[in-house]
Amino acid sequence: MAQDAPTGYRAVHRRVPISERPAAASGDHRVSSHCANSEETTLSVTETVGGLEPPRPPGGVDRASADHAVSIVAPDGEQTSRFLVTHHASGLRTLVKRLVKAGVVEVGIERPDGPIVDALRAAGLVVFVIPPGQLKNLRSRYGSAGNTDDRFDAYVLADVVRTDRRRLRPPLVDQPATTALRPLTRARKALLAHRIAVADQLRAHLQICFPGAVGLFADIDSQISPRFLQRFGTQERADRLSIKRWTAWLTSVGHRGRTPAQTLHERLTGAPRGATGPAGDTAAAVTAAFVATLRAINAQIDALAARIAEQLALHPDAPIFTSLPRAGTLRAARLLTEIGDTRGRFPTADSLACLAGVAPSTRQSGKIRALGFRWGADKQLRDALCDFAGDSVKANPWAADLYRRARDRGHDHPHAVRVPARARTNIIWACWTTPTPYDPSRHHALQRVLNQDQSAAA
């Protein structure tokens, strides 16, 4: 076919945005064939099966907290309808009714979840997700001023569905067991971040008013530190602790640390003195507030962990992820929920690595070619995969060898962790698609490293 011959919707376009020509489709219909070491395509790619359907008006929905902007675009690019709907049950019913009445069957939106998406799917509409970062870049098709408006964004979403239909792919939906487990793992991860933030605030507070409590135990957010601060939260209370009383208190709370009681007591008494008197009492009230917050967060983290373990045990894919080295229960659950159970989501291991952000991105212009960090990635998936890979280094000689060699090349810790994480994606993807639990005896690269270690020891 000649390059300038009209194809598909182009035959009826009266106006088109800049750079409408879609990227070449890859063989796996998801990412470009060189995704593992080059730039990623702008949007997901798919082919239309059975030829092009008659042009239908697409829709776009720009979500907001109270009112959602909606746009309907004719096949020729003209906006035929624009309206707002409220974020209520009646508003969502109005949204679906007006879209269906206008003949819309495909809708562009920025997020793949929520009541709006559920309502659209329940009505039989096809939803295409265009992330906010891509929407920001797509605005430049229609102007260079950089103006933003909810109604304009809704139009851009609808028009991109019209012009880039063959390059878009509706998100695949996981099974209920996975979708029910995902919010639990993400909520626990969020609470861990909150615990770190509160612990940092408590540490900064104690460095001023009670330095002896800082560094007394290994972690200020551990189980023993809040109990100590609850019982001895001021300098004056700590001054009354003799070595005998200190040892008796450690025994009463069941402390099993490796550091002797004598050493801990020397840390406490040898630190700079903190606030006393009224200032100490005021500081103790602040300390008690932080301690209560930490204990509440720890209790909820433990409750979520127990719930995650219960639901993971019932998941059909649990044996795959729990078999991975040092995955345990919580890491296995995070990997499972972020990867999902729909095998068609990742047709190749490279597509998994690209979305996880552990494959480098190529910047090439003329004779200059450079590899860089892949910013466009699923951050939840990247965090889950890198967390697993970073800990597996401690128990897997093959992963440890990859990490050590990356460090020897001068890479920092986050970069070095992404190296075994990238290698792990091949193993995880193979186990996930088979499906087969991980078997170290069939991991040839691991056996090779083990044999080298045995030969070196001999």
Residue 172: inside a domain, yes or no? no
The single-letter code of the amino acid at 369 is R
Distance CA 72, CA 99 (A): 8
Q: Classify burial at 191, counting beta carbons within 10 Å of its beta carbon; exposed 0-12, middle 13-18, buried 19 or more.
A: middle
| Domain of residue 211, residue span | 179-313
In a shared domain, residues 239 and 363:
no
- Judged against a pLDDT cut of 70, whether residue 293 lies above it is answered with yes
Phi, psi of 324 (to 5 degrees): -70, 145
Residue 1: inside a domain, yes or no? no
Can you name the residues that pair with 65 across neighbouring β-strands?
none
Instruction: Give, for 363, the enclosing helix (H) or strand (E).
Output: strand 361-365
In a shared domain, residues 148 and 187:
no
201 falls in which pLDDT band (50, 70, 90)?
Answer: very high
Residue 174: inside a domain, yes or no? no
- Judged against a pLDDT cut of 80, whether residue 30 lies above it is answered with no
CB 280 within 8 A of CB 286: no
In 3D space, the residue among 190, 217, 206 whose CA is nearest the CA of residue 291 turns out to be: 206
In a shared domain, residues 343 and 446:
yes
Distance CA 16, CA 458 (A): 71
> Could you tell me the pTM of the whole model?
0.79
| Mean pLDDT of all residues belonging to the chain | 86
Mean pLDDT score, 293-322: 96
Give me the CATH number covering residue 19.
Answer: 3.30.420.40
Phi, psi of 108 (to 5 degrees): -100, 140
> Is the N-terminal amide bond of 347 cis, ω within 30° of 0?
no
- In whole angstroms, how far apart are CA 81 and each of 95, 103, 138, 308? 12, 12, 21, 45
In 3D space, the residue among 152, 458, 186 whose CA is nearest the CA of residue 307 turns out to be: 186
pLDDT tens digits, 377-414 = 899 999 999 999 999 998 889 999 999 999 999 999 99
Ranking 6-15, 18-27, 63-72, 447-456 by mean pLDDT, the lowest is 18-27
Report residue 391 as tokens.
């800990």
In a shared domain, residues 13 and 144:
yes
Residue 339: inside a domain, yes or no? yes
At residue 365's C-alpha, the angle toward residues 364 and 369, to 5°, is: 40
In a shared domain, residues 188 and 296:
yes
Domain ends where: 126, 143, 167? Answer: 167
In a shared domain, residues 349 and 386:
yes
Distance CA 150, CA 61 (A): 9
Residue 173: inside a domain, yes or no? no
Distance CA 63, CA 60 (A): 10
Distance CA 283, CA 54 (A): 72
In a shared domain, residues 296 and 345:
no
Distance CA 68, CA 439 (A): 50
- Judged against a pLDDT cut of 70, whether residue 10 lies above it is answered with no
Give me the CATH number covering residue 287.
Answer: 1.10.287.4070
The single-letter code of the amino acid at 299 is A
In a shared domain, residues 44 and 115:
yes
- Judged against a pLDDT cut of 60, whether residue 28 lies above it is answered with no
At residue 439's C-alpha, the angle toward residues 435 and 443, to 5°, is: 105
- Judged against a pLDDT cut of 50, whether residue 419 lies above it is answered with yes
In a shared domain, residues 159 and 257:
no
In a shared domain, residues 335 and 282:
no
Domain ends where: 281, 298, 313? Answer: 313
pLDDT tens digits, 319-335 = 999 999 999 999 999 99
Helices in 144-214 by DSSP H: which ranges?
Answer: 150-163, 176-209
Q: Residue 11's pLDDT is what?
A: 36
444 falls in which pLDDT band (50, 70, 90)?
Answer: confident
In a shared domain, residues 156 and 225:
no
Domain ends where: 313, 328, 349? Answer: 313
In a shared domain, residues 275 and 370:
no
In the chain, the number of structural domains is: 3
Sign of CA dihedral 436, 437, 442, 447: positive
Residue 2: inside a domain, yes or no? no
Residue 75: inside a domain, yes or no? yes
- Judged against a pLDDT cut of 60, whether residue 22 lies above it is answered with no
pLDDT tens digits, 41-52 = 334 434 444 455
**Measured between alpha carbons, how far apart are the two ends of the chain, in Å?**
66
